[in-house]
Amino acid sequence: MESISSPAGDVLPEDEPAGGPTFLDRLFDHGLLVRTGVDGLYGRSGGFESVVDALDRMITRLGAAEGAEVLRFPPAMSRSAFERSGYLKGFPNLAGTVHSFCGDARGHAEILACLEAGTDWTGQQEATDVVLTPAACYPVYPVAAARGALPAAGRLFDLQSYCFRREPSLEPTRMQLFRMREYVRMGSPEQVLAFRESWLERGTAMMRDLGLPLAIDAANDPFFGRAGRMLANNQRAQGLKFELNVPVNSVDKPTACLSFNYHQDHFGSTWDLHQADGTVAHTACVGFGLERITLALLRHHGLDLAAWPEAVRAELWG
Ligand code: ATP
Ligand code: ZN
Ligand code: MG
């Protein structure tokens, strides 16, 4: 990754005065985000969505030349695919499962009685065959594997999904439900690493064109528990994950707006996905956090979209 320099990513337009309204407060006050009473679960205004839509189109333009196959899934996946994916090994604390009432009339009466009494009514909820999608690329691996071995050129997918992660926070950039746009490459190690390298460059150019200060840094996923610490160290040491960070909430802890992940043969072995020559496929993905990039723009260019720099508006809306 030596080709990517790390320009100064250490500026914020103004510090939040201690005790004053936070960035999240200001987003609520301007109506850009709408409170639901749950941290990390927000409605969004038309203006906010106009930025998300423009970013989505910009990402499409950046990837247009490669002819990625577009697939869209609902923000949920099959529980059995989720179990096989290995997500619960790494991130049991972030997973969201869909449970439903499967009882009879007596069970229903109990629910109503609990509600009336203000006690826990969820005791009869049972796990369904549906779980919430944790990352936009998760549903695509079994779909690709079901088609048989990859063609010699490998495959490239274009995905977007709402993703769920149980990580409530007062930082507006850490939501429980957010949209992730992804390109996913499957093929040989050379093919998928070349893909990741080219997106490191394209993603950096895109964010610079949007007038955002940024830095590319090695990163790791928040693997759970003590064993997870080793996995995280390993991921960093092997250069498997990079993030494009922009200061949004603070300069000290900048926010990952894009991520560039090399999974080696993890998903290939998990899903029996093979290259044309029969060896296990390697995969990589680039993920764009659509709300996070929008929030970075709002933080740096202000909460009034009409007052954003003309060059930034032109990039987004032509
Ligand atoms: P972080 O280290 O900040 O938790 P992450 O490593 O979990 O980020 P990825 O799993 O790589 O992020 O997800 C891809 C992209 O999705 C991120 O680059 C980010 O832009 C976005 N994203 C991740 N988690 C959230 C969240 N809780 N709320 C909003 N966007 C998110
Ligand atoms: Zn992915
Ligand atoms: Mg995370």
Protein residue whose Cα sits closest to atom 30 of ligand 1 = 289
Q: Which has the closest alpha carbon to 134: 188, 209, 79?
A: 79
Task: Write the residue with the smallest CA distance to atom 8 of ligand 1.
Answer: 256
Confidence check on the interface: ipTM exceeds 0.95, yes or no: yes
What fold, for 23-95+134-317?
BirA Bifunctional Protein; domain 2 (3.30.930)
- Among residues 282, 243, 228, 219, which one has the least CA distance to residue 87? 228
Each residue's pLDDT expressed in tens, for the chain with a length of 318 residues: 433 444 445 678 876 778 889 999 999 999 999 999 999 999 999 999 999 999 999 999 999 999 999 999 999 999 999 999 999 999 999 999 999 999 999 999 999 999 999 999 999 999 999 999 999 999 999 999 999 999 999 999 999 999 999 999 999 999 999 999 999 999 999 999 999 999 999 999 999 999 999 999 999 999 999 999 999 999 999 999 999 999 999 999 999 999 999 999 999 999 999 999 999 999 999 999 999 999 999 999 999 999 999 999 999 999
Distances (CA, A) of 88 to 35, 94, 131, 208, 260: 30, 9, 12, 36, 21
- The finding on whether 90 has its CB within 6 A of some atom of ligand 1 is no
Shortest-distance Cα residue to atom 31 of ligand 1: 289
CA geometry: angle 76, 294, 93, nearest 5 deg: 40
Ligand 1 atom closest to the Cα of residue 221 is 6
Residue 222 C-alpha to ligand 3 middle, in angstroms?
6
Cβ(175) to ligand 1 under 6 A? yes
- Angle at which helix 46-63 crosses helix 310-317, to 10 degrees, equals 70
175 CA closest ligand 1 atom index? 28
Is pTM beyond 0.80 here? yes
Alpha carbon of 257 to ligand 1 centroid (Å): 7
Structure tokens at 259: 């991520």
Handedness of CA 312, 248, 177, 181 (dihedral sign): positive
Domain regions of the chain by residue span: 23-95+134-317, 99-131
Measured from the Cα of 165, ligand 1's closest atom is 27
Determine the distance from the C-alpha atom of residue 67 to the mean position of all C-alpha atoms in its chain, rounded to a whole number.
22
291 close to ligand 1 (CB < 6 Angstrom): yes
